[in-house]
Structure 1
Amino acid sequence: MYHDRPTLSAPSSSGPVPPLLLEVHQLLNEVLPLPTQVEFRFDPATAAMIRVEFIRRRGPGLVWYMGRELLHKGLTSMSGSADVQMWPTFPGDHPSSWLVLESEGEEEVFEVPTEPLARWIDATYLVVSAEGEMDGLDWDLFLREVFHDV
């Protein structure tokens, strides 16, 4: 599959872990990968979920909320089910993982560079451990934010 050096950027942020901006490849077919900018954003108040925005060239981005554990496990093994799945590609010079998103019968496949995402996710676990993800979570606020009612 198509491999190239990923674009990695960590814009400044007031939070403990700055957002991660990655160039991933949306697989339109076997020979035509489409470079796509994706921003991963971590909020310690909702540590179990990662906000993932697929940035479009025109118009608003597309936002998905994905489990931090799903993304972490998907870097090394099969992870997720139903709408969001992730697993590693074949080993090579530039390790990556497949990220598959499904919505309303449509499926999109992305190739995500493993190393920068793994470093970023590891940094989030230094801020909030897996065991502490649900401590103090305001479920009402979280669900309003997910469903854009705030």
Structure 2
Amino acid sequence: MTSCVDQGLRMELILASGESVPVSACLLYTSRDPFAVHIDFHAALGDPTRWVFSRDLLARGLLQPSGRGDVWLWPSGAGRGAMLHLALSSPHGSAQLEAALPVVARWLERTYQLVPPGREADMLDLEGELARLLHGTG
């Protein structure tokens, strides 16, 4: 049985000028992909853009600068005004965004209620996936 935890989120896209533009996003976690978090960014037109990265990376990024390669996270501020910064890069471009850290932290706690840390592998059906690959079903 797959369960998910999602959360609508307002983020700010930080422009090169230092100004910011609001961006609607949705955080998604599913027990079917227990090691990953998904963020869908909704632009005014078109399909959402999805980024996927490690739930552990998100947890570390709430506490200290973390990341490597195309995803970097770091906290700033304290209390209700704390912010989570997210820097994304790809061959198509890069973006820096901010979100309210307490909102993201509460959502992350909800994912831990669904799949506790260290129990992610318990959610995987490796034998079933292997059988589907070997028998060409799926």
**With structure 2 as the length reference, what TM-score do the two structures score?**
0.82
Alignment of 1:37-116 (within 5 A): 37-91=24-78, 94-104=81-91, 106-116=93-103
| Cα distance in structure 2, aligned partners of 1:50 and 1:16 | 11
CA RMSD, Structure 1 to Structure 2 (Å): 2.3
Change in CA separation of 1:44 and 1:55 when aligned onto 2, cut-off 3 Å: same
- The residue aligned with 1:24 is 11
Unaligned runs of 5+ residues in structure 1 are: 1-13, 142-149
| Cα distance in structure 1, aligned partners of 2:80 and 2:36 | 30
Greater fraction of residues in helix: 2
Residues 19-77 of structure 1, C-alpha deviations (whole Å, 9 max, x = no match): 10110100013441010011011101211101110011101110111111111111110
Does 1:35 pair with 2:22? yes
Unaligned runs of 5+ residues in structure 2 are: 130-137
The higher radius of gyration belongs to 2
**With structure 1 as the length reference, what TM-score do the two structures score?**
0.76
Q: How many Å apart are 1:92 and its aligned residue?
A: 6.7
Does 1:125 pair with 2:119? no
| Cα distance in structure 2, aligned partners of 1:61 and 1:112 | 18
Aligned residue-pair number = 128
Change in CA separation of 1:127 and 1:82 when aligned onto 2, cut-off 3 Å: same
Greater fraction of residues in strand: 2
SS in 2 for 1:86: strand
Q: Which amino acid aligns with 2:24?
A: Q
Q: Sequence identity, in percent?
A: 26
